A and B are shown apart, each in its own frame.
Chain A
Amino acid sequence: MILIGERINGMFKDIREGILNKDPEPIKHWAKRQYEAGAAYLDVNTGPTVEAKDQPKVMEWLVNICNDTVPIPCCVDSTNPEAIEAGCAANRHGKVMINSTHADQWKMDIFLPMAAKYNAAIIGLAMNESGVPKSAADRAALAMEIVVNADAHGIPMEDLYIDPLMLPANVAQEHGVEVLEAIRQIKALAPGVRTTLGLSNTSQRCTNRHLLNRTFLIMCMAVGLDSAIADVDDPQLVDAVAAANILLNKDIYCDSFLKTFRQK
């Protein structure tokens, strides 16, 4: 399970203030904290308060701080292609990840060549301009659009992460089972392609958020989920993932399995 830490996002007040005041401390803090908690990637998002023209510069600044602080790559998260490109160019550790393209042709035509150019991994959201599909089959169909286009650009299948998109349990409860089925179908239709999930969406504006997130993550792992963008600052979530990795025979058991999972 590849955990992508979600916390360096201008939607959060401390990160937003760090960006506005040019203060790297909150970014450093969360880079280190998420790395130590077991994150393999740091999601980096400037947030909506930064103007589009400033986003590339801010993204570069954020990625540089993360890279200077911890030895893991960034997952550059933006709807602005120029910000994404600036983040890809700045990342110095491992394989950078692009977050994300949709299944719309015009978006794939921008982001897939960019992924190829920077030898980046890329998240493909199983949605298009019509929105998030209701059924598993429609999610899988959009996923296959992205798979075919990624392949045409020579992107290795293990660098493509399809996100079948989860919606909050209190507004779209019926989507949970569809996401589970979509993961199964995507793994069956396109072996080698990876899957990921914006996990915290599961519990937006719900109570017991950690419990909902954690439970759904383990359910998804059981049907083949490879990665998640998640709140790794929740130790129980990371513990549950470490345990699931053992029970799914992904990691070899040892008594210190909670610790070894975090050391990766």
Chain B
Amino acid sequence: MAVTIAKERWTSKVNELVLGAEPNVVKVGGDATLPFLFFEGEMPNRPVVALEVLDMEPEDWPDILKAPFEGVLGDPAAWAKKNVEYGADLVCLRLVSAHPDNKNASPEECAKTAKAVADAVNVPLIIIGCGVEEKDAEIMPAVGEALAGKVALLGCATPNNYKTITAACMVNGHSIVASSPLDINLAKQLNILITEMGLAANRIAIDPLVGALGYGIEYAYSIMERARLGALTGDKMLAMPVICFVGQEAWKAKEAKASNDETPEWGDQTRRAILWEVMTAVTFAQASGAIMVMRHPESCKQFKAHIDKMMEPVKY
């Protein structure tokens, strides 16, 4: 007897977010189905990888993560180039030096770094502040202006600083990362507030503040899935592609940081840490993540190999 494949019929789809300037654009979103269920709807764009660049030498990165970037860790532009050589679809610049506890870098210094990175590579950029809401609101207008025309993704906007970051995006043609701490109601509300300022809904990426494998990954998974179901059933204020800051979470895990000497029974640290980052990313790809911000080049390679297989057409 023939098997009938049960198929859901969705009424709506995820917005398509376009990053970068022609001809080097990257498109994400546009899905009319749950991830990879091609028999129920179209998934026009595959999940993409952004590799991270820090604007100062990372202090808490384990040696195995620093190794692939030897010689460029103090030079964001050279580091960004290296990321592109490693196969990154986008580069994510993190302006950690702006943090008052670090160098407390000025908006002008941040803008200069962002411009240098933008000039060094031709892939689209994601520019993230230092995580201090007030400081990010100060630096993003300068960064947005320096990158005018580059169609970058700027973040992270929160309910406390979204106004200045949204304005910086609107004036200079960028898109925005809207962050909410594992809270779908807040995610939706923030998207409403941003669109009410006049930024189009298809210029927003949702950042649900994911956790790594073993560290609350299931909460992020559930929220992303719920948001996707909302998007597919017509909730326009949840129909944004999701960005997952995988690297920062995976490399915080002790499973990634503990050396071979500390935990010999856990096996080789390099293999283990990369697996931790890749497993976190592929889980979020299944949950509807569209942009994975990762750190290790080998993780990027393995994730993309996984997505290559997942994107193969189905026969039913």
Tell me if B234 and A254 are in contact (CB < 8 A).
Answer: no
Q: Residue-by-residue, is B221-253 near A (CB-CB < 8 Å gives 1, otherwise 0)?
A: 000001100100011111000000000000000
Q: How many angstroms between the C-alpha atoms of A158 and B184 in the bound complex? A: 28
Q: How many angstroms between the C-alpha atoms of A182 and B235 in the bound complex? A: 30
Tell me if B192 and A256 are in contact (CB < 8 A).
Answer: yes
Tell me if B185 and A264 are in contact (CB < 8 A).
Answer: no
**In the complex, which residues of chain A have a beta carbon less than 8 angstroms from the beta carbon of B13?**
none
Tell me if B192 and A252 are in contact (CB < 8 A).
Answer: no
Kindly provide the distance from the CB of A72 to the nearest chain B CB, expressed in whole angstroms.
13
Q: Residue-by-residue, is B149-188 near A (CB-CB < 8 Å gives 1, otherwise 0)?
A: 0000000000000000000000000000000000011101
Tell me if A251 and B189 are in contact (CB < 8 A).
Answer: no
Kindly provide the distance from the CB of A243 to the nearest chain B CB, expressed in whole angstroms.
15
Kindly provide the distance from the CB of A129 to the nearest chain B CB, expressed in whole angstroms.
35
Please tell me if A255 contacts chain B, counting CB pairs below 8 Å.
yes
**In the complex, which residues of chain A have a beta carbon less than 8 angstroms from the beta carbon of B186?**
254
**Chain B: number of interface residues, binned into ranges:** 10 to 19
Interchain CB contact (< 8 A) of B189 among A158, A254, A264:
A254
Q: How many angstroms between the C-alpha atoms of A142 and B256 in the bound complex? A: 65
Q: Give the residue name and chain of the B residue nearest to A256 (CB).
A: B192
Tell me if A254 and B230 are in contact (CB < 8 A).
Answer: no
Q: How many angstroms between the C-alpha atoms of A256 and B235 in the bound complex? A: 13
Q: Decide yes or no: A253 and B234 within 8 Å by CB, A259-B192, A260-B192 being known contacts.
A: no
**In the complex, which residues of chain A have a beta carbon less than 8 angstroms from the beta carbon of B184?**
252
Most buried by B among A254, A255, A260, A264: A254
Q: Give the residue name and chain of the B residue nearest to A263 (CB).
A: B236
**In the complex, which residues of chain B have a beta carbon less than 8 angstroms from the beta carbon of A256?**
189, 192
Apart from A252-B227, A253-B185: 10 A-B pairs, beta carbons within 8 A: A252-B184, A252-B185, A252-B188, A252-B230, A252-B238, A254-B185, A254-B188, A254-B237, A255-B189, A264-B234
Please give the residue numbers on chain B whose beta carbons come within 8 Å of chain A beta carbons, in ascending order: 9, 184-186, 188-189, 192, 226-227, 230, 234-238
Q: List 27 A-B contacts (CB under 8 A).
A: A158-B9, A251-B235, A252-B184, A252-B185, A252-B188, A252-B226, A252-B227, A252-B230, A252-B235, A253-B185, A253-B188, A254-B185, A254-B186, A254-B188, A254-B189, A254-B192, A255-B185, A255-B189, A256-B189, A256-B192, A259-B192, A260-B188, A260-B192, A260-B237, A263-B236, A264-B234, A264-B236
Please give the residue numbers on chain A whose beta carbons come within 8 Å of chain B beta carbons, in ascending order: 158, 251-256, 259-260, 263-264
